[in-house]
Structure 1
Amino acid sequence: MKKIFPGLALIAGTFVFAQNTSTDATPPSTTSSKIKFGLKAGLNVSNLSNMDMKSKAGFYGGVFMNVPVAKNFSVQPEVLYSNVGAKQKGDGNAKLEVEYISIPVMFQYKVLPNLYVEAGPQFSFLMDARLKDNVGSLHLKDATRGFDFGIGLGAGYDITKNIGVNIRYTAGFSDIVNKSHRYLYGYDRTGSVKNGVFQVGVNYKF
């Protein structure tokens, strides 16, 4: 948890700078220049590279702030709870559940008045990791690295001025497994174990 606070402080400072820049550069009467806050939630479909497992459904949800910085261009930092992982292949029902607090910082460009594309980094901090089946659960937090870095690409559509839908794929760049604990993951091959997460959801701007 201590690792999260410096990252939040750095991002918060960036937000304040972006807010001041947007206010100075755009007339106050332009409603599109207003900073907006909102909520978002949706479905994760995730998998792990180099693991003999299949995709698993999960949940994400959290808050965001949209900061216009130029015409048709904005920065949207988010703080999300995100449940990812993978599922056992075949008839088994074992699931690898990995929970993060994720902080994406997305750079958005409006290609149409209601349609935007986005890209940006994501910084994720581990909350918990466990392997669950009918018998019980095996805790894997010590076997999982506490930080994950990824890059997200996506798009969104504003149905109304308050309600929108969005899709995003985030590719992890970090090996999430501690090398000294790979046996707990049943992982004995070369290469890294990385997150890959597809998201689809809704958002509400205040």
Structure 2
Amino acid sequence: MKKVLITTVIVVLGLSNVNAQEIKFGAKAGVNVAYISGDNIEDIDPITDFNFGFLAEISISEKFSFQPELMYSGQGSEVNLKYLNIPLMGKYYMTKGLSLEAGPQIGFLLSAKNDDTDVKDVFNTIDLGLNFGVGYKLNNGLNFGARYNLGLSDINDVDDVSDKNRNEVFQLSVGYFFF
């Protein structure tokens, strides 16, 4: 996990030197509606949890920017999964303030609990996903986002079980760019 975080910082710093017109740093928080999809998943209700973290927006041109994030995210269903996610979002500004965004995400499982029982050992520690969303940024730094995370990797880590399951998460967030 240390290597991934170091690599992410190096990428962000490296991209900031590639004709970046402006870099803004901020924080955001919001609500998740999360569920697990895949094999043998019937009658499992989605959960509502929260997300929060830090982000940077690196302007590449007037229409394009790159937004790496470091986010804590509550996911799962009846099993409560907590992740440290690193989304790497490309943003296209359709008009001033309004952007479409997409990009890959890597997640690191921090904890997994069913009621109060630790079940982390039956889940993979790495979760890969793809994000799609829309955002709106005001001139004063306040910003709003709606995002869908499609899990790409099997979250199960149980021998002799062929079920394949993945995370899916809808997120609403509000944030602020400090500088």
TM-score (norm 2): 0.93
- 1:194 aligns to what SS in structure 2? strand
Q: CA deviation at 1:54?
A: 1.3
Report the CA distance shift for 1:7/1:69 in structure 2 as closer, same or farther (over 3 A).
Answer: same
Looking at structure 2, the residues matched to 178 and 16 of structure 1 have their Cα atoms a distance apart, in angstroms, of 35
Q: CA deviation at 1:181?
A: 7.8
Looking at structure 1, the residues matched to 3 and 124 of structure 2 have their Cα atoms a distance apart, in angstroms, of 18
Which ranges of structure 1 fall in alignment gaps of 5 or more residues? 24-32, 87-94, 183-189
Q: CA deviation at 1:71?
A: 2.6
Looking at structure 2, the residues matched to 82 and 34 of structure 1 have their Cα atoms a distance apart, in angstroms, of 28
Which ranges of structure 2 fall in alignment gaps of 5 or more residues? none
1:80 aligns with 2:52: no
Aligned to 1:9: 6
Amino acid in structure 2 at the alignment position of 1:15: V
Alignment match of 1:45 (pick from 14, 25, 33): 33
Looking at structure 2, the residues matched to 35 and 73 of structure 1 have their Cα atoms a distance apart, in angstroms, of 12
Q: CA deviation at 1:179?
A: 2.4
CA RMSD of aligned residues (A): 1.4
Pairing of 1:53-92 with structure 2 (within 5 A): 53-86=44-77
Runs of 4+ with >6 A deviation: none
Contact 1:143–1:181, Cα closer than 8 Å, also in 2? no
1:5-54: CA deviations, max 9, x gaps? 1111111111122111124xxxxxxxxx3200000000000000132211
1:158 aligns with 2:137: yes
Looking at structure 1, the residues matched to 61 and 128 of structure 2 have their Cα atoms a distance apart, in angstroms, of 27
Pairing of 1:110-189 with structure 2 (within 5 A): 110-132=93-115, 137-180=116-159
TM-score (norm 1): 0.81
Looking at structure 1, the residues matched to 105 and 6 of structure 2 have their Cα atoms a distance apart, in angstroms, of 15
| Equivalences, count | 175
Whose strand fraction is larger, Structure 1's or Structure 2's?
2
Larger Rg: 1
Looking at structure 2, the residues matched to 200 and 71 of structure 1 have their Cα atoms a distance apart, in angstroms, of 25
1:203 aligns with 2:175: yes
Whose helix fraction is larger, Structure 1's or Structure 2's?
1
Amino acid in structure 2 at the alignment position of 1:163: L
Q: CA deviation at 1:159?
A: 3.2
Looking at structure 1, the residues matched to 144 and 133 of structure 2 have their Cα atoms a distance apart, in angstroms, of 11
Sequence identity percentage: 32
Q: CA deviation at 1:205?
A: 0.3
Q: CA deviation at 1:114?
A: 1.0
Contact 1:37–1:64, Cα closer than 8 Å, also in 2? yes
Amino acid in structure 2 at the alignment position of 1:6: K
